[in-house]
Structure 1
């Protein structure tokens, strides 16, 4: 059975067309309501009642005719067993009034009838059975839709189901459960026992699911607002032409992310936000770092224009650029780029205060930068380690030429401490490379001698193998000889095994 029959559909469709306007908005509203009604037409289940039909149209068309809604709800209800029995009773005995009276929800009427003519109570029993089963059915669907929601449509549908379950529970006579629920069950041979406690539990469950649905629907509002804020911030950032405009967009961007993080965690909106927030934060961080670097470059351009006539202003602008660059964290992919700019801007400030020493320091930094870049991705050969050490030595020699009376002396001494420490590390790596290559060469020579003239005594053979192993173990990790030494070590250890 479909939830909306053809007759009810025609009544509602005519009123929808009557309520809708001729403009574009009116056509869109009409399409939304028609799509909802078509969904009911294609959905199988219990017929949609007055409340559900009203909920389907009233948010779009508050002026929708209540009379048409009632007519459609009535037309949508199929003739049930109760209706058929009623007409049979009217035709056969003309006792419709009596049947209505005896089925009233009053124990003083029902008790004597149930003892003498229980069949007359069949309509109310069928109604109770129907509403009980529909309440359980709608409640289970609402529970699944709300607690396992995957989209806002699930929440909306779950809210409709819980309202339907509530209407079904309202139609169950609680007074009956306290009098004789077992007689009700025995009359139909049913296996369930719907008690007052079960009714209260169902009521509590309806209230809990209603609250969850309410929270979920409310949480969708800040989610939509936050996503709109983020979209607006991204557009403003892309269209920004000045540092101030970019920083304003960044502030709005941060506000949108904060809004997402404040959504209640137990809601569908929070789960949706958590699935997106990582990407939002990544884009935000890229924009923030990009803003720092772009702002620094703009300050640099302004300082270059001002340095000839306003050296103090240029120095202040370069300091602003340095302050922006220092905001770039170490773990950011653009950190190396930022550090290179930082060194450049610091050199330019120093060039205004102390042109001679600043040039020497800038030259030393260039050698240091080349050395640091060449040191990446070790291990390196002995020759390359020597080249790197020479670069550090050249940087150190330049800094040592700055006398104590020059303004750049203090900065030069700070750099000297760092560069000399780095040179020491490089010299240690160079010595390890030299020694490891020597050990590997000696081990290979011993292997060649052993292959050329293996001893006949097994113990002597093992002793020579052990000597080769000891020599290979002196090869240090982080050297170019280490991988080959480890491969030879594995082979030698296998030869010692019985």
Structure 2
């Protein structure tokens, strides 16, 4: 038996709180008195009497209520149960009535019985043991089912288990935990340990699991609604007959995906949504990008029809087509297809907005600029001169597309004459380069032949060297072969000296 029971301690603690102030000194005084009372609570032996309780508090709190001390002393004394049991036995007249009475959940009856005849309390102990083990088992099962759920059925079953655990906990007498926080029925070898802290922990765990079950069940509703909305949007998309209907279905589809994203975290519904969301998003992206390309193509077809009579309306349609294609991300497989269409529609838009001839003139200037840049820092090889020729040809081809009845025909003809002159110069340079390369090659061959089998007659040798010199002099300046030809020419002239 503890020297200060829970009820007496609560009476004294309340009066200590009333006597104490809020300043730091008062808090220290309160701690001193509480430690003394706590020490009495942990000591075993005969109940503390009035004088001992008074000594524990009056030196710190002289104003401590004498009435409260007497109430605490009375509450700290064990009740006279044997007299009451005897009276009840006579009143009821049967042993069954006695057994029922002593097992009632009242500490003042059970405490003295537990000291002298604990076997009489065996029925209630068996019941408490049953509910204790049931609570632990159901809590463990509920925790496993809820926190590692793989389906809604696990959540449902976990909810049932936590309710069963709560019922078991409701059948455990809390007063028992306050009066008997130690093992019981030592006479018979029982040793069930279950303190008030453990009981409260189990209560909190049950409440936490119950809250998780509640959240999971609630989260399953928006999951089902989002998946249903997703299914309906997909059906509407497949049944759509035009761009407007398809885009409306795509908007509903996106809304359903947003609903999946908003499902509360740390729920089975969120985990389920995350596993499916990747596939849902892939299907949505394919449908959306396909719709964008198809819409752009439809706008292009309509713009082509009305462009001769309504160029402004046609321009608006091509702008809408371009806007659709610009929304396709680079990582999408259809990105290149979209870019090709985009380039074509941009040309059409520019043609519709600007005069036709201006477009051709601008294109010709771009080719001419590229040709001029490539011509810089000559000399060049025959192949490069040929590439430059092709650029000038493309530039000229653009200008030749402009009809005589167009307002910018005269300007185009001026450029055409200039570009044709430039083309002629490039052709001359290419031919000169080709001839110079051929002459240099022939000179090398004659030199190699002369070295391999030189004539025995000096005059004939000089004649052949003179022929090589004459050949090298035909290599024109401004060609890639000219520096090499000059080097060989100087070498040959030295041989003649």
Could you say which TM-score interval applies, normalised by the shorter chain? 0.5 to 0.7
Q: Residues 409-435 of structure 1, C-alpha deviation per residue, up to 9 Å, x if partnerless? A: 9xxxxxxxxxxxxxxxxxxxxxxxxxx
Q: Residues 263-316 of structure 1, C-alpha deviation per residue, up to 9 Å, x if partnerless? A: 122111111111111111111111111111111111112112212332322222
Q: In the alignment, is the contact (CA less than 8 A) between 1:364 and 1:394 conserved in 2?
A: no
After superposition, residues 406-417 of structure 1 pair within 5 angstroms as none
Q: In the alignment, is the contact (CA less than 8 A) between 1:303 and 1:314 conserved in 2?
A: yes
Name the counterpart of 1:114.
Answer: 114
User: How far apart are the structure 1 equivalents of 2:392 and 2:187?
Assistant: 103
1:159 deviation in Å?
0.8
User: How far apart are the structure 1 equivalents of 2:254 and 2:203?
Assistant: 43
Aligned in 2, Cα 1:306/1:142: closer, same or farther, shift over 3 Å?
same
Q: In the alignment, is the contact (CA less than 8 A) between 1:360 and 1:398 conserved in 2?
A: no
Name the counterpart of 1:340.
Answer: 340
User: How far apart are the structure 1 equivalents of 2:278 and 2:386?
Assistant: 43
After superposition, residues 480-495 of structure 1 pair within 5 angstroms as none
Name the counterpart of 1:177.
Answer: 177
After superposition, residues 66-465 of structure 1 pair within 5 angstroms as 95-184=95-184, 186-187=186-187, 189-352=189-352, 353-356=354-357, 358=359
Q: In the alignment, is the contact (CA less than 8 A) between 2:363 and 2:395 conserved in 1?
A: no
1:355 deviation in Å?
3.0
Aligned in 2, Cα 1:293/1:163: closer, same or farther, shift over 3 Å?
same
User: How far apart are the structure 1 equivalents of 2:270 and 2:386?
Assistant: 56
1:253 deviation in Å?
1.3
Q: Residues 425-475 of structure 1, C-alpha deviation per residue, up to 9 Å, x if partnerless? A: xxxxxxxxxxxxxxxxxxxxxxxxxxxxxxxxxxxxxxxxxxxxxxxxxxx
Name the counterpart of 1:31.
Answer: none
Aligned in 2, Cα 1:243/1:158: closer, same or farther, shift over 3 Å?
same
User: How far apart are the structure 2 equivalents of 1:249 and 1:296?
Assistant: 17
1:192 deviation in Å?
4.5
User: How far apart are the structure 1 equivalents of 2:192 and 2:365?
Assistant: 90
Structure 2 segments unaligned to the other structure (5+ residues): 1-92, 367-383, 412-497
Q: Residues 153-190 of structure 1, C-alpha deviation per residue, up to 9 Å, x if partnerless? A: 11111111111000000000111122224341635534
User: How far apart are the structure 2 equivalents of 1:105 and 1:236?
Assistant: 66
User: How far apart are the structure 1 equivalents of 2:235 and 2:364?
Assistant: 42
Q: Residues 391-417 of structure 1, C-alpha deviation per residue, up to 9 Å, x if partnerless? A: 9887677669899x969x9xxxxxxxx
Structure 1 segments unaligned to the other structure (5+ residues): 1-92, 366-384, 410-498
Name the counterpart of 1:83.
Answer: none
1:219 deviation in Å?
1.1
SS at match of 2:184: helix
Q: In the alignment, is the contact (CA less than 8 A) between 2:360 and 2:401 conserved in 1?
A: no
Q: In the alignment, is the contact (CA less than 8 A) between 1:263 and 1:270 conserved in 2?
A: yes
Name the counterpart of 2:489.
Answer: none
User: How far apart are the structure 1 equivalents of 2:398 and 2:186?
Assistant: 103
User: How far apart are the structure 2 equivalents of 1:150 and 1:389?
Assistant: 70
Q: In the alignment, is the contact (CA less than 8 A) between 1:364 and 1:398 conserved in 2?
A: no
Aligned in 2, Cα 1:292/1:364: closer, same or farther, shift over 3 Å?
farther
Aligned in 2, Cα 1:109/1:346: closer, same or farther, shift over 3 Å?
same
User: How far apart are the structure 2 equivalents of 1:331 and 1:356?
Assistant: 37
User: How far apart are the structure 1 equivalents of 2:268 and 2:194?
Assistant: 33
User: How far apart are the structure 1 equivalents of 2:386 and 2:192?
Assistant: 89
Aligned in 2, Cα 1:252/1:187: closer, same or farther, shift over 3 Å?
farther
Q: In the alignment, is the contact (CA less than 8 A) between 1:351 and 1:359 conserved in 2?
A: no
1:249 deviation in Å?
1.3
User: How far apart are the structure 2 equivalents of 1:290 and 1:260?
Assistant: 23
User: How far apart are the structure 2 equivalents of 1:395 and 1:96?
Assistant: 118
Over alpha carbons, which structure has the higher Rg? Answer: 2
Q: In the alignment, is the contact (CA less than 8 A) between 1:222 and 1:259 conserved in 2?
A: yes
Task: Indicate the larger mover: 266-275 or 189-198.
Answer: 189-198
TM-score (norm 1): 0.54
Aligned in 2, Cα 1:146/1:333: closer, same or farther, shift over 3 Å?
same
Q: In the alignment, is the contact (CA less than 8 A) between 1:155 and 1:216 conserved in 2?
A: yes
Aligned length: 298
1:261 deviation in Å?
1.3
Q: Residues 341-365 of structure 1, C-alpha deviation per residue, up to 9 Å, x if partnerless? A: 1122223234434334546889999
Q: In the alignment, is the contact (CA less than 8 A) between 1:132 and 1:169 conserved in 2?
A: yes
User: How far apart are the structure 2 equivalents of 1:397 and 1:149?
Assistant: 74
- The RMSD of aligned alpha carbons is 3.5
1:98 deviation in Å?
2.4
User: How far apart are the structure 1 equivalents of 2:191 and 2:385?
Assistant: 91
Aligned in 2, Cα 1:345/1:191: closer, same or farther, shift over 3 Å?
same
User: How far apart are the structure 2 equivalents of 1:290 and 1:196?
Assistant: 65
